[in-house]
Amino acid sequence: MSELFIVGTPIGNLGDITFRALETFKAVDVIACEDTRHTLELLTHFEIRKPLISCRSQNEDIAADKIIELLKKGQSVAYASDAGMPGISDPGAILAYKVRQAGFKVVPIPGPSAFATLVSVAGPGGKTLVFEGFTSPSPGKRRKRLRELLEGGNAFILYESPFRIVKLLTDIADIDSSRRVVVGRELTKLHEEIVDGASAEVRDEFASRPSIKGEFAVFVSGSNNTKLLAENTDN
């Protein structure tokens, strides 16, 4: 029976590709992807040649119908977003849902994730961890949601671009200047950087830089955990 494979791909370092991901790409009939040019570079690096079709956020619903038609014809399809696991702040969730509803099996092929990568090195954050992803570009909506998350007391993870990272850190610091944050920049890549400290301190660090490049993941510790860490440090 035809199947759809949801494939995790490297978030930066190509060495993070899994054997299973490569085997899947080689075995399927068609590869659907968020950006055909980006995925073509990945496949070319590993000397894999397959027909590619676009399935991005702007056309995911329509692309899902096309992929279902391929599955009905007996073809197997792999889906890859530009980086990491599809469906986590990337297209893929609608596709997986519609394919399953159409009666076809959807198989996860686990791979790298900026979310899991940062959590693994961030240290304690509390019992509950919330994944928020990208916040609103609207300053008012962003601050409102950040206040809700910070007052909720649980640790959370955000994604942000280099163009708004200082604004994001400023908003967090304005609400709770002592809350511990861990910022991961360019995770797994050549210029990977992890900055850990109170939100105001981390904000000042990035605000002082003449230019900022790269993609960001931001871990914000839970309020109760922050207090416990401070007490243990004092002792």
Q: Which helix (H) or strand (E) holds 30?
A: strand 30-33
Q: Which domains does the chain have, with CATH numbers?
A: 3-109 (3.40.1010.10), 114-234 (3.30.950.10)
Q: Residue 231 pLDDT more than 80?
A: no
pLDDT in tens, 109-159: 999 999 999 999 999 877 889 999 999 999 999 999 999 999 999 999 999
pLDDT, residue 110, reads: 97
Q: Are 139 and 38 in contact (CB under 8 A)?
A: no
Rounded Cα distance, 81 and 142, in Å: 26
Q: What pLDDT does 191 receive?
A: 93
Structure tokens belonging to residue 150: 């910070």
- H-type alpha helices, the chain: 19-27, 36-45, 60-72, 93-101, 114-122, 139-152, 165-175, 199-207, 223-234
Distance CA 203, CA 173 (A): 7
For residue 234, pLDDT beyond 70: no
pLDDT in tens, 2-56: 999 999 999 999 999 999 999 999 999 999 999 999 999 999 999 999 999 999 9
**Which has the higher per-residue pLDDT, 224 or 52?**
52
Answer whether 138's CB lies under 8 Å from 34's CB. no
Question: Cα–Cα distance between 137 and 134 in angstroms, integer?
Answer: 9
Q: Which residue has the tokens 């899902």?
A: 64
